[in-house]
Amino acid sequence: MDILETDAYDRRKRRNMSCALLVSLLPFFASTALYFYLWTPDSPASITSAGVKSAPILLLAAAVLSWNGGQSVLGVVGGLFFSAVGDCCLIWPEHFLHGMGAFAVAHLLYAVTFLTARYATYSSSSWNRFLYVILLIVGGGFYTYLYPFLQKAPDSEILTPAVGIYVFLITLMGILAIRTRNTATLLGSLFFMVSDMSLALQLFKVVAPMKHGNLIVMVTYYLAQLLIAVGDVKATENKDAFAKWKTT
């Protein structure tokens, strides 16, 4: 098999994999559509609403697990599982801190995953370092802006440092996503930050309740998780392809 035939074969293989990946994600898309169809602003907190909200993330975890196997349990699959736990907790306002803790674990698992050998590593460029600084400024600036509103919360003595730790972890996750230079992974981390910032601004009464506030939060959230999951699958594919190229 010559070089041109090998290249054509690899293109067909990538195309077939993309189609198979899309098929495996259909349950996620269907459950996401069901969530937006059933959700209303005055939906009561219940086991059913928690299940409908977390189902897309659990189905996404199952899809990643089917592609990457057990190696992803302590990585993106684990992060998705803890995200689903966080989704359930946030259904009940009194469990907000528990939900934030679950999402903090998810961000930590994502961050550790982005450091593994499955993601290609690159030497840090000046452009990367510039983006690191931008994210640090955004994360630190957002927490500073949020701080006075956290102080007004009834449980501010716990909430204020907890939110600070959470902001640090999601910012760290975003920085390590930049390091991977995986487009889907990077965009997923940025959409996650946008989703959480939108939620925090509304939850801590920084802005007046928005008509489509929940829609903004959940669209960016589901999109973030989808991109991180796809990025993880693609990272494994690209690593395998690179290893194959080195042995030829």
Nearest-angstrom CA–CA distance, 46 and 48:
5
pLDDT of residue 127: 84
The amino acid sitting at 234 is: K
Tokens of 79: 């992060």
Segments forming the whole domain that contains residue 33: 3-247
pLDDT of residue 243: 43
State pTM to two decimals.
0.89
Q: How far apart are the first and last CA of the chain?
A: 12
Alpha-carbon distance values, 184 to 4, 31, 89, 103, 187 (Å): 28, 21, 27, 20, 5
Alpha-carbon distance values, 26 to 20, 41, 59, 201, 230 (Å): 10, 26, 9, 32, 13
> Which are the contacts of 228, defined by CB distance < 8 A and separation ≥ 6?
76, 79, 110, 184, 185, 188, 189, 192
pLDDT of residue 65: 94
DSSP per-residue letters across 6-23: HHHHHHHHHHHHHHHHHH
Diameter over CA atoms, the chain? 70
pLDDT of residue 41: 73
What is the pLDDT tens value at each position of the chain, 248 positions in all?
454 444 554 555 566 778 889 999 999 999 999 999 998 877 788 999 999 999 999 999 999 999 988 888 889 999 999 999 999 999 999 999 999 999 999 999 999 999 988 886 666 678 888 999 999 999 999 999 999 999 998 889 999 999 999 999 999 999 999 999 899 999 999 999 999 999 999 999 898 878 888 999 999 999 999 999 999 998 876 655 444 434 44
Q: What's the domain count of the chain?
A: 1
Q: Rounded to the nearest 5 degrees, what angle is found at the Cα of 82, between the Cα atoms of 186 and 230?
A: 35
